[in-house]
C-alpha cells in the first residue's frame, strides 16, 4: 500500500515537471510566440506600424531589429488582454530590415522575423517638353527599368532599361514608339531587378 502511494506521488511529480517544461520550453516559444502583423507602410513618411497578436497575453514584449549580424533592442510594450500589442510607428530601414518580437528575458534568436523593405520610389515626370508627343521621365533609382503599360488592360507597351553608368533621364517619343496609336492613358512604373515595383504614375497621351 505504501509502495503504491509512493508510485502515485512520483507519477504526479513527473506530470508536474512535464507541464513546467511544456510551459517554458522550446515548444511554447514555437506555438505561443507573439506575431507581428504584415507591415502596412505609410508612404508619406516611410514608416511602418509594429503591431500584432500575442496568444499568451498579457505580458511584456520586446521589439528587436537584426542588423549587421546582431540583434538590437528597440522598445518594450505590454500586450493587452485582447491579445493585441502595438510598438507604434518605426522608420523603414534604407535596406531590408528584420524585426522580431519576443517576451521579456527571452532571446530573439529563433523567432520568426517580419521583413520590412523600403518602397520603390515612383519615377518623376519632369515635363512633356516642347513636343507634346514626348515625355521626359526621371528614374528615382539608377537600376532596373522603366515600364509603360496600357492603364486599361495592364498590357506592357514599352520598357526602357536604366543604364547605371549614364544616370540620365529617359525621353520617350509617343509617335516613334507607336504608343500614341495603342492607348490614351499609360501607367508608368519603375521596376527593380528583384521584381519590386513603384506605385504607377498615370499619364495621358495627347497625340493619336
For position 30, what pLDDT does the model report? 46
For position 8, what pLDDT does the model report? 53
Assess if residue 165 is contained within a domain. Answer: yes
For position 123, what pLDDT does the model report? 85
- Pick the last residue of a domain from 57, 92, 116: 116
For position 166, what pLDDT does the model report? 81
For position 58, what pLDDT does the model report? 95
Contacts 24+ apart (CB under 8 A), 142-147: 142/167, 143/192, 143/193, 144/190, 144/191, 144/192, 144/193, 145/190, 145/191, 146/170, 146/188, 146/189, 146/190, 146/191, 147/188, 147/189, 147/190, 147/191
99 and 81 in one domain?
yes
Tell me the C-alpha distance between 202 and 208, whole Å: 17
Assess if residue 3 is contained within a domain. Answer: no
For position 10, what pLDDT does the model report? 52
Sheet harboring 97-103: ordered strands across? 70-78, 60-67, 97-103, 114-116
For position 75, what pLDDT does the model report? 96
Domain of residue 148: give its range. 124-204
For position 5, what pLDDT does the model report? 55
Assess if residue 48 is contained within a domain. Answer: yes
Asked if residues 134 and 97 have their Cβ atoms less than 8 Å apart, the reply is: no
For position 81, what pLDDT does the model report? 94
Q: Where are the alpha helices (DSSP H) in the chain?
A: 2-24, 26-31, 174-177
Q: What CATH number is given to the structural domain containing 82?
A: 2.60.40
Q: What CATH number is given to the structural domain containing 177?
A: 2.60.40.3580
For position 26, what pLDDT does the model report? 40
**SS3 state at 83:** coil
Query: One digit per residue, pLDDT tens: the chain, 208 residues?
Result: 455 555 554 544 544 443 433 333 443 444 578 999 988 877 667 788 999 999 999 999 999 999 888 899 999 999 999 999 999 999 887 667 899 999 998 989 878 888 887 777 888 887 655 566 788 898 878 889 999 999 999 999 999 999 888 878 888 888 788 887 888 889 999 998 888 888 899 988 754 4
75 and 94 in one domain?
yes
Assess if residue 12 is contained within a domain. Answer: no
Question: Domain tally for the chain?
Answer: 2
Tell me the C-alpha distance between 105 and 114, whole Å: 20
For position 143, what pLDDT does the model report? 87
Amino acid at each position: 500500500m505504501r509502495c503504491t502511494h509512493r508510485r502515485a506521488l512520483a507519477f504526479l511529480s513527473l506530470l508536474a515537471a512535464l507541464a513546467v517544461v511544456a510551459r517554458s520550453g522550446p515548444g511554447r516559444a514555437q506555438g505561443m510566440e507573439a506575431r507581428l502583423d504584415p507591415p502596412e507602410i505609410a508612404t508619406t513618411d516611410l514608416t511602418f506600424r509594429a503591431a500584432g497578436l500575442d496568444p499568451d497575453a498579457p505580458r511584456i514584449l520586446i521589439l528587436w531589429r537584426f542588423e549587421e549580424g546582431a540583434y538590437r533592442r528597440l522598445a518594450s510594450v505590454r500586450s493587452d488582454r485582447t491579445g493585441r500589442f502595438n510598438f507604434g510607428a518605426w522608420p523603414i530601414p534604407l535596406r531590408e530590415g528584420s524585426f522580431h518580437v519576443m517576451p521579456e528575458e527571452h532571446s530573439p534568436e529563433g523567432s520568426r522575423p517580419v521583413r520590412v523593405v523600403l518602397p520603390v520610389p515612383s519615377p518623376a515626370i519632369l515635363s512633356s517638353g516642347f513636343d507634346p508627343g514626348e515625355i521626359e521621365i526621371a528614374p528615382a533609382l539608377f537600376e532596373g527599368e522603366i515600364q509603360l503599360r496600357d492603364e486599361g488592360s495592364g498590357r506592357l507597351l514599352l520598357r526602357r532599361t536604366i543604364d547605371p553608368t549614364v544616370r540620365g533621364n529617359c525621353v520617350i517619343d509617343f509617335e516613334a514608339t507607336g504608343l500614341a496609336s495603342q492607348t490614351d492613358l499609360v501607367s508608368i512604373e519603375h521596376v527593380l531587378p528583384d521584381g519590386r515595383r513603384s506605385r504607377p504614375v498615370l499619364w495621358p497621351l495627347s497625340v493619336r
